[in-house]
Amino acid sequence: MIFQTSYVHICFLKNTFTGLYFNINYFIYIKLVVVIGAVDMCIYVFNRLFLYFFIKNFCKKKWIDIRGSVKSFFIKIGHKLLSVDMHSQASLLYTINLQIFQQLFPVIIEA
């Protein structure tokens, strides 16, 4: 799923920079694609690790063990969150990527 999200971002970049090919070097374009992939992968891994440790530690609390149904409820929510399709996060990731691009490549974005 991470590759699908990166592909969505790469296609958006391609459409955004279609009219700027006379100003943009293909080497820079490849660098942008690599940055997108790296940012997507980092956010994906961070999200999954955060959810894993949150569920693991939160479900160990003694007050949740008072009722097994409460614990199973949180585990079910956790599994739902872990199985979220990455396309639902594409807009958030794109916003983060755009802010990174504006800081790394201000000349290209403003062109």
State the Cα–Cα distance between residues 55 and 18, nearest whole angstrom: 44
Domain that holds residue 36: 2-110
pLDDT of amino acid 46: 76
Give the SS3 label for residue 100. Answer: helix
State the Cα–Cα distance between residues 47 and 86, nearest whole angstrom: 11
Q: What is the mean pLDDT of residues 23-42?
A: 67
State the Cα–Cα distance between residues 14 and 31, nearest whole angstrom: 13
- Total count of domains within the chain: 1
Q: Is the pLDDT of residue 2 over 50?
A: no
pLDDT in tens, 44-85: 777 777 767 766 666 555 544 445 555 565 556 555 555 554
Helices (H), the chain: 2-16, 26-58, 68-82, 90-104, 106-110
Is the pTM of the predicted complex or chain greater than 0.85? no
Q: 10 — phi, psi (to 5°)?
A: -65, -40
